[in-house]
Chain A
Amino acid sequence: MNTVEKLAGLIRETSSSLPEDVESALAKAKRREQGGSSASVVLGTVLDNVRLARKLGSPLCQDTGTLAFYIDASLRRKVSPAVVKKAVALATTRGYLRKNCIDSVTGKSYDDNCADGAPVIHYVDWVEKGCVRLVLKGGGSENMSRQYSLPDSTLGAGRDIAGVRKCILDAVVKAQGFGCAPGILGVCIGGDRATAYEVAKEQLLRSLDASGESSDAVLRRLEKSILRESNSLGIGPMGLGGKTTLLGVRIASRPRVPASFFVTVAYMCWACRRGSLKFKV
């Protein structure tokens, strides 16, 4: 199989099949909710949808989202932007992706989902050797991502971990009813504004299993306490009430200049579609 076909396969797999850790977090959440409650009905519907989409190999949500590729830098030549675009165009023709890309100035559709800057392609040195990773993130969830600047007087949030916690919980409450909960948070503490949004989004690549927990003790504790506290707010799946508001929280930090202190939250919906493909190197 050539590289374009392989990448188109990755796109199909990612768009139609939820990663195991996300699906099992959803199943676990359903068991926690009271049978017959709206939360349990919503989660049951989500799980049935996940299974059906996988069986059919068709998109599990019609918003097939922004495609972000994270590609091992040593593949720069083999998996060039031109090759990735070919694969995206092919995947669109085959119906693995919806026509989902609009010119922001003219309003016209790029029917093959390809344009300057679409899909988003990063060549990075932190993915496994020979690996291509892909995330599909829908608009409803992207709209719920937020950035805070500490201190924040309306939240009473200062420049410390306690202040960081207040920002993240605020983002959870503001997302309710939108962004198709239960969600997953990728958070970056610090950094500059632009880098922080990228780092926050990258955290969504981490597993929800224990293997994805932060190796830093302070951040790990914060990941766990934010998850627990968010789920105690009663927002629930689709904001209809219940015990499951979030499926997971993944936090990283970056150094900052003394004058700024950003807290950046990338909100992901339950349809957290990530996939990966490995080339021999």
Chain B
Amino acid sequence: MKELTYPFDERQIRALKAGDAVEISGLVHTGRDKFHKFFADGGKIAVDFRDGALYHCGPVCVKAGDGWRVVSAGPTTSVRENPYEPKFIASSGVRIIIGKGGMDAATLAAMKKHGCVYVQAVGGAGALYAASVKRVAGVDLFEEFGAAEACWHFEVEGFRGVVAMDAHGNSLFDKVASASDALLREIL
């Protein structure tokens, strides 16, 4: 298990390999469909994503006193952000994208160029990921997009995942898919 702590160091990120299990701690920002479109359309918020992490997640958060309690925070499917992600990686300087199901070749190429990895979170593990959020540091775009599409700033501890796409151009999904395809052809 490799431990990664915000701010994420470019050398450490580039050294990761597809298949490495990781535990992420520190600041993680959520962003999904509306967030990506907002940035693609030139929108701006006062958040510095440089050396940070972006999590494809539409959490369920409820008001608790002055702050927020995170009820569920599992990953959402990442492919929907394919059209936006290469540009976002290039312009934001983000080091880690967290999501589910992997992303396309253009995103993989952008990760290689700019030093970024894709971490697969475990689909369905919403309760556990919610518990790994130690503090909600803030939220942007909440009024505009609502809780599920807002950009939440989570302080996480021991957030578990697996590097599925690394900064060397390797995708674990592609590797497993072609190997299993070959095995299937063998047994059919």
Chain B residues with CB below 8 A from A106, complex form? none
A9-53 near B? 1/0 per residue, CB < 8 Å:
000000000000000000000000000111001101110110011
The 9 closest A-B pairs by CB, nearest first: A49-B128, A49-B125, A61-B124, A180-B123, A62-B72, A62-B126, A53-B127, A38-B162, A41-B21
Residues on A with C-beta less than 8 A from B184 are 169-170, 173, 233
Chain B 88-112 per-residue mask, 1 if CB under 8 angstroms from chain A, else 0: 0000000000001110000000000
Chain A residues in 8 Å Cβ range of B127: 49, 52-53, 56, 58-60
Query: Which A residues are CB-close (under 8 A) to B160?
Result: 41, 44-45
Which chain B residues lie closer than 8 Å to A176 at the CB level? 176-177, 180
- Contact yes or no, A60 B124, CB < 8 A: yes
Residues of A within 8 A of B162 (CB): 38, 41-42, 238, 240
Q: Which residue of B lies closest to A237 (CB)?
A: B122
Beta-carbon contact of A173 and B187 below 8 Å:
no
Specify the main secondary structure of chain A where it touches its partner. Answer: loop
Distance in Å: Cβ of B43 to nearest Cβ of chain A: 24
30 contacts between A and B (CB under 8 A): A36-B1, A38-B19, A41-B160, A41-B162, A42-B162, A49-B122, A49-B126, A58-B127, A61-B72, A61-B74, A61-B123, A62-B126, A63-B124, A155-B188, A169-B184, A169-B188, A173-B180, A173-B181, A173-B184, A177-B102, A180-B124, A233-B184, A235-B180, A237-B122, A239-B173, A239-B176, A240-B19, A240-B173, A241-B172, A241-B176
B48-70, CB < 8 A from A: 58, 60
B133 CB-CB contact with A under 8 Å:
no
Please give the distance in Å from A62's CB to the nearest CB on chain B: 4
Is A110 interfacial (CB 8 A cutoff)? no
- B27 CB–A CB distance under 8 Å: no
A241-B60 Cα distance, complex, nearest whole Å: 30
In the complex, which residues 218-270 of chain A have their Cβ closer than 8 Å to any Cβ of chain B?
A: 229, 232-241, 269-270
Interface residues of A, Cβ cutoff 8 Å to B = 36-38, 41-42, 44-46, 48-49, 52-53, 56, 58-63, 95, 98, 138, 140, 155-156, 166, 169-170, 173, 176-178, 180, 229, 232-241, 269-271
Shortest distance between the CB of A148 and any CB in chain B (Å): 14
Residue among A58, A59, A238 facing the most chain B CB atoms (10 A cut-off): A238
**Given the complex of chains A and B, what is the CA–CA distance between A166 and B74 in angstroms?**
34
* Min distance, Cβ B47 to any Cβ of chain A, angstroms: 24
**Residue pair A156, B188 in contact (C-beta under 8 Å):** yes
Within the complex, which residue of B77, B126, B176 is in contact with A61, where a contact is CB–CB below 8 Å?
B126
A48, closest chain B residue (CB)? B128
Indicate if the CB atoms of A42 and B71 lie closer than 8 Å. Answer: no
The one of B77, B172, B181 in contact with A38, judged by C-beta atoms closer than 8 angstroms, is B172
Residues in A neighbouring B176, C-beta threshold 8 A: 176-177, 234-236, 239-241
Q: Establish whether residues B177 and A234, one from each chain, have CB atoms under 8 Å apart when the complex forms.
A: no
| Neighbouring A residues of B164 by C-beta, 8 Å | 240
Within 8 A of A (CB), among B122-165: 122-129, 131, 160, 162, 164
